[in-house]
Amino acid sequence: MPKIVLIRHAHSTANAAGVLSGQLPNVHLSKSGQEQAERLAERLGKLTIAQVQVSPMDRCSETLAPWLAKYGKGVTVISEPNLVEVDYGKWSGKKLATLSRAKLWRKVQGQPSAVTFPDGESLAQMQVRAMQTVHDFFASDQEMTIMVSHGDVIKAIVASSMGMHLDDFQRIVIDPASITILESNGGAIRLTRLNDSDSSVSELLQSKSKRGHLLGGGKGITK
């Protein structure tokens, strides 16, 4: 069954500074983020994969770089603009502690579907572009890809894939360097892993026990 391995970039210098970086350039991985990226490479391990899709932001390419160097020889890397961070407009580069006192913050937390950032994009627009990339992959003949993106983008993808309203996407947690896995056989999208920061993904995906139509919460009949 075709699978997408969604990865949030590892801890960044903006995360360390408590800054909403958005699409600002020159945001790189912090020292702890570099260590997370190294661990992520081992968690992913050897995968049978032809291409990966990565947000154009440096912190995303840096997150996947250790895996590409050790296990990704010959893998095509696509810089995918639909996976880029939200354009937060005038909010970009500001401290989260300052932004949390703004009137718009309450709407971002409680009614994100109605939010358009000042001189930026709306969260609804972000979700549409991100889901286009997901749907395009599942409509292709590929069996697996990795997509490296950002917290809000992955939360929006998960919400849409699970049939949740965008207003509920703040209930989803996506940590730095975490892995979320989606799969689809041409019908509904299935969430098989969410915000995983520990598992050996290569073992999980290469497991001989293939899932089909699952009963009993995922431990029933396999077809």
Q: Which pLDDT score is estimated for 201?
A: 86
Name all domains of the chain by residue range, CATH numbers in brackets: 3-205 (3.40.50.1240)
Span 143-159, mean pLDDT?
98
> Does the structure show a pLDDT above 50 at 223?
no
* Residue type (1 letter), 75: V
pLDDT band at 222 (very low <50, low <70, confident <90, very high): very low
- Per the structure block, which two tokens stand in for 135? 């749907």
As a whole-number percent, the residues of the chain with pLDDT over 70 amount to: 92
Average pLDDT, the chain: 92
Percent of the chain residues topping a pLDDT of 90: 87
Query: For residue 136, what pLDDT is reported?
Result: 97
From the list 216, 213, 148, 150, the residue with the least C-alpha distance to 183 is 213
pLDDT tens track for 169-221: 999 999 999 999 999 988 899 999 999 999 998 777 765 445 555 545 554 43
Query: How wide is the angle at C-alpha 21 spanned by C-alphas 19 and 24, nearest 5°?
Result: 145
Residue whose C-alpha is closest to residue 150's, from 106, 73, 74, 92? 92
Distance of CA 198 to the CA centre of its chain: 16
- Its pTM stands at 0.92
Tokens of 145: 């890809």
- Which has the closest alpha carbon to 81: 44, 2, 36, 136? 136
* 19-44 per-position pLDDT tens digit: 999 999 999 999 999 999 999 999 99
